[in-house]
Amino acid sequence: MSAARSLSLDRPRVLAIVNVTPDSFYAGSRAGSAEGALAMAARAAEEGADALDLGAESTRPGAERVGEREQIDRLLPAVRAIRAAGGPLAAIPMSIDTTLAAVAEAALRAGADAINDVSASTERGGEMLGLAARLGAGVILMHRRSPPREDSYSDRYGAAPAYTDVMGEVRGFLAARAAAAMAAGVAPEAIMLDPGLGFGKTVEQNLELVRRTGELAELGYPVLSAASRKSFVGRICLAERAQSDPAERLAGSLAFSVAHLFAGARVFRVHDVAEQRQALAAAWALGTARARGD
C-alpha cells in the first residue's frame, strides 16, 4: 500500500473483494456499477474491512480477458465514488486487481494505493513493477501456472499440474519476482506475496501450500491468503458433493482462513468481511494467548 494509506500487520488484516464485473465466480462479489461498488465498499468498511481490492476482470478459470479501456471504464467511476464518499472510505487502503499497467496507473492516479497483480508482473515485459516504483504503490505478487482462460478449477483437472515440490517452486518464483520488484525500485516493505491458491494447483497442492506457508513467510514479506469460497474449499468441506456452489462455502472458507493464519498468512482477501474478521480475531486472540502461555 502507499505510505499515505498503509496496513500495519500487528494483527490479521481483511482485504474486502469488490468486483466491478458481471462474471466473477461468486455472485455476491459482483458490483454492476460504480454505485454498487460504493455500496459494497461502504458495507465492507462498516463490517470492519481493513482494505478494499477492486477488480474489473474476472480471474476465474476459463474467463475471457477484458481490455484496458473496458477495465478502466469499469474501475475509475468506482474508485472515484469510493474516495469521494469521505469518512472511512476516503482513508481506507485500496488495491486494484489487474495485470495491465495502464489500468493500474489510471486507478492509482484516481485514488488507489496498490496493485494486486495475479501475473506477478510477468505480462507485457514486467512494466507493472516500474509503474509501482514510480508512483510509490504497493504490489501484491501472485504465483500462477497459466492465464485464467487456460486454467481449470482445482477439483476438475484431467491431469494434475506437475510440480516436483509445489511450495519449493512457488517460493522460488515469488522470491525471484520480489527481487525483480526491488530491482525496479519498489521498496521491500511495499511487497506482499500470494501463493495463488486455486491457480494452477489441485486440491491437495492447495492444502500443501497452506500447510507450508511458513516457508514462504521466511522470505520476509507478508503473505496474502485468498481461499475465500474457491472450488478446493468446497471439495474439502462438502466432500460428499460432486460439485458445490460458491454460496455454500462460507464455513469452509472461515476454516481455511484460520488455518492459514496459524500457518503464517497475515492478510486475507475475502468475500465475507464480518464473518472473516470475527473468526480471525478469535483465532488471533487464541494464538497470542498460547504464545504468552495463558
The residues spanned by each domain of the chain are 13-155+164-292
Least confident piece of the model among 52-56, 63-67, 97-101: 63-67
As a whole number, mean pLDDT of residues 74-89 equals: 97
Predicted confidence (pLDDT) at residue 1 exceeds the cutoff of 70: no
- Closest among 194, 191, 221 to 210, alpha carbons compared: 194
Instruction: Select from 3.40.50.360, 1.10.260.40, 3.90.1150.10, 3.20.20.20 the CATH code of 13-155+164-292.
Output: 3.20.20.20
- The predicted-structure confidence for 19-62, as pLDDT tens digits, reads as follows 999 888 888 889 889 999 999 999 999 999 999 999 999 888 88
Which of the following is catalytic: 60, 171, 269, 277? Answer: 269
Q: CA angle, corner 95, sides to 4 and 269, nearest 5?
A: 120
Which of the following is catalytic: 74, 83, 177, 230? Answer: 230
In the chain, DSSP finds a helix count (H) and a strand count (E) of: 11, 8
Counting Cα atoms < 13 Å in the Cβ hemisphere of 25 gives: 20
Q: Does the active-site annotation cover 230?
A: yes
Q: How sure is the predictor about 3, in pLDDT bands with cuts at 50, 70 and 90? A: very low
pTM: 0.94
Q: Say which residue the cell 476438475 belongs to.
A: 156
Q: How sure is the predictor about 86, in pLDDT bands with cuts at 50, 70 and 90? A: very high
Predicted confidence (pLDDT) at residue 294 exceeds the cutoff of 60: no
Element (H, E) at 167: helix 166-183
